[in-house]
Amino acid sequence: MTNYVHVEVDGPIAEVVLNRAEKMNALNENSFTELVAAAETVRSNKQIRVVIIRAEGDHFCAGADKAFLQGAVSDPEVFSAKALQLPEGEIANEFQKPVMVWLDINVPVLVCLQGVVYGAGMQLALAGDIRIASPTIGMSLFEINWGLIPDMGITQTLPRLVRADIASELMLTGRVVKADEAQRIGLVSRVEQDPLQATRELARKIASNSPDATSRAKKLLRDSVGLSTAQALKLEAELQSELVGTDNQIEAAMANLQKREAKFQSS
């Protein structure tokens, strides 16, 4: 059986790799399932402190595979059942979950982008905490060209990154955004000639910090959206209280004072 998504683990860093380069890494039904399984693999490995999502070949992802997309929407009743009838305890349907798992996972997620980043591929990319892109990228929410809207958790990602009017334009036109503009408007964190090397260097830097602090930093930024000022300040205080005086917090402080590499315990 072909693995369209595979996980490579090197110490504290996991790389989740889209592996369908001959199809520009377009996501089919197996890809959706395997993205969710990859997240569970990462979640179950307490040694992992950072995740990189990347793709083989010249393109990150051309969106949903056309045959898969056409099949998914060919029967409106079947589609509605899959989209609206959720398993008990779930908030994301089977189309949203391959993106939402990366928002929900506790460790930082870095995304390395090159070439085409369209549709479902762009929605997956936006689920990362940081995106490092090649100058070759073109990003597009091109669902409008199929008479559809982005529906893979876009409400939880795009509004956090760009102004409302820019989000509207991107969704209403499906136009392709090139690297410089993508960085300027906030779709990508930065543009690098060698994005994979830059992403891996950043992953190593993050992985060298306390895993307790990095996971709570992600939680703070993710969960404070939409809170009142009082609620957000309370969240800051609660998360900080979970860190102060712990073994990893003390080790971080001592390593910093003694100018040595810290040795952290797994979370």
| 227/101 same-domain check | no
**Cβ–Cβ < 8 Å for 153, 92:** yes
How many domains in the chain?
2
Q: Which of 167, 189, 206 is the last residue of a domain?
A: 206
Task: Report pLDDT digits (tens) over 153-187.
Answer: 999 999 999 999 999 999 999 999 999 999 999 99
Task: Report pLDDT digits (tens) over 12-49.
Answer: 999 999 999 999 999 999 999 999 999 999 999 999 99
Give the bridge partners for 139, in sequence order: 117, 177
- The answer to whether residue 265 sits within a structural domain is no
| 89/213 same-domain check | no
Q: How confident is the model at residue 1 (pLDDT cuts 50, 70, 90)?
A: very low
Res 69 pLDDT > 90: no
Residues 127 and 51: their CA atoms lie apart, in Å, by 12
Q: Which of 162, 186, 206 is the last residue of a domain?
A: 206
| 117/244 same-domain check | no
Res 2 pLDDT > 80: no
CATH number at residue 155: 3.90.226.10
Res 259 pLDDT > 70: yes
- The answer to whether residue 264 sits within a structural domain is no
| 116/155 same-domain check | yes
Q: For the chain, what is the mean pLDDT?
A: 95
- List b or e across 213-230, with b for residues whose CB sees 16 or more CB atoms inside 10 angstroms: bbbbbbeeeeeeeeeeee
- The answer to whether residue 263 sits within a structural domain is no
Domain of residue 214: give its range: 209-258
Mean pLDDT calculated for residue range 117-134: 98
> Could you tell me the two tokens for 203?
């992953």
**Cβ–Cβ < 8 Å for 140, 175:** yes
**Cβ–Cβ < 8 Å for 128, 53:** yes
Res 239 pLDDT > 70: yes
- The answer to whether residue 266 sits within a structural domain is no
